């Protein structure tokens, strides 16, 4: 029986070529260099930071690192022994920012009508504090909803994110469902998109949709990034469709969905990442 020569002509060697070995060596050196650049000897293991942020088990987070899907301070890290400072270093997974500071809080609240958007009301009206009594952190709301408007309100202790979400330059869209007195004229959407002159200047919507209509009443959806006081109510008043009920259903990428009225929930890691991505964090 004749055995083939593993070095003979036509035999495909399983050993990597010199070029492949050289490339693997360069990649390993780069990965080690990146890990060394961000490594904090007294820090927390990267896979633990990821697991604590809600990205899965330690084993699953180790796989994220091994698959080169994790960046620390802009450097891709694949070394499982890497330690970081979660308070000061930024972490991205698949290019999405991950919140690693353990004291950060991000909440979604479905505000009922009659609740004022403040942590303490001197007039004794129902306020946000009644729904956040069990939270030890010092929290604040992102923007506000007027007392009679219902729906999605974001609450956090992350000042930088809050400031960006409410700053006009980032143009974060908010979606509202409004029950109005009808009928709604055919040109209302065009007028609202073009802009309406209010007492504090021109305001316009990004989009307008008639959802449903019955005699004397209609349901409409508006999307706008304006943040002026009672802006939706004032716009609809100006076009002859006063609001009977108003609900905010979306704040940027965050949706109210099936969240019950009066309930507070923690935002998921992917929702927080999408918020941060929307404002360039």
The reply to whether 146 belongs to the active site is yes
For residue 153, list its beta bridge partners: 109
Determine the Cα–Cα distance for residues 154 and 193; give it in Å rounded to an integer.
Answer: 26
Backbone φ and ψ for 73, nearest 5 degrees, come out as 50, 40
- 108: number of CA atoms within 13 Å, CB side? 24
Three-class HEC string of the chain = CCCCCCCCCCCCCCCCCHHHHHHHHHHHHHHHHHHHHHCCCCCEEHHHHHHHCCCCCHHHHHHHHHCCCEEECCEECCCCCCEECCCCCCEEECCEEECCCCCCCEEEEEECCCCECCCCCCCCCCEHHHHCCCCCCCCEECCCCCCCCEEEEEEECCHHHHHHHHCHHHCCCEEEEEEEECCCCCCHHHHHHHCEEECCEEECCCEEEEEEEECCEEEEEEEECCCCCCHHHHHHHHCCCCEEEEEEEEECCEECCCCCCCCEEECCHHHHHHHHHHCCC
Of 52, 85, 146, 206, which is the active-site residue? 146
- Pairing relation of β-strands 91-93 and 70-72? antiparallel
Positions annotated as catalytic residues are: 146
């Amino acid at each position: 029986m004749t055995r083939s020569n593993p070095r003979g002509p036509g035999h495909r060697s399983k050993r990597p070529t010199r070029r492949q070995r050289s490339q693997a060596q360069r990649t390993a050196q780069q990965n080690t260099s990146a890990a060394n650049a961000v490594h904090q000897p007294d820090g927390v293991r990267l896979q633990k930071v990821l697991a604590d942020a809600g990205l899965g088990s330690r084993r699953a987070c180790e796989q994220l690192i091994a698959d080169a899907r994790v960046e620390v301070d802009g450097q891709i890290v694949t070394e499982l022994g890497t330690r970081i400072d979660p308070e000061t270093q930024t972490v991205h997974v698949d290019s999405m920012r991950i919140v690693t500071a353990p004291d950060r809080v991000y909440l979604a609240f479905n505000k009922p009508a009659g609740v004022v958007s403040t942590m303490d009301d001197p007039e004794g009206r129902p306020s946000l504090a009644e729904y956040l009594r069990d939270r030890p952190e010092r929290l604040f709301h992102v923007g506000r909803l007027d007392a009679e408007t219902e729906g999605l309100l974001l609450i956090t202790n992350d000042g930088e994110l809050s400031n960006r979400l409410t700053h006009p330059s980032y143009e974060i869209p908010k979606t509202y469902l409004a029950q109005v007195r009808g009928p709604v004229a055919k040109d209302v959407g065009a007028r609202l998109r073009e802009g309406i002159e209010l007492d504090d200047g021109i305001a316009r919507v990004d989009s307008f949709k008639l959802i449903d209509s019955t005699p004397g009443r209609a349901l409409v959806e508006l999307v706008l990034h304006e943040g002026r006081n009672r802006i939706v109510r004032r716009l609809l008043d100006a076009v002859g469709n006063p609001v009977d009920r108003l609900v905010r259903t979306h704040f940027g990428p965050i949706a109210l969905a099936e969240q019950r009225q009066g309930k507070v929930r923690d935002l998921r890691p992917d929702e927080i990442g999408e918020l941060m991505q929307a404002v360039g964090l």
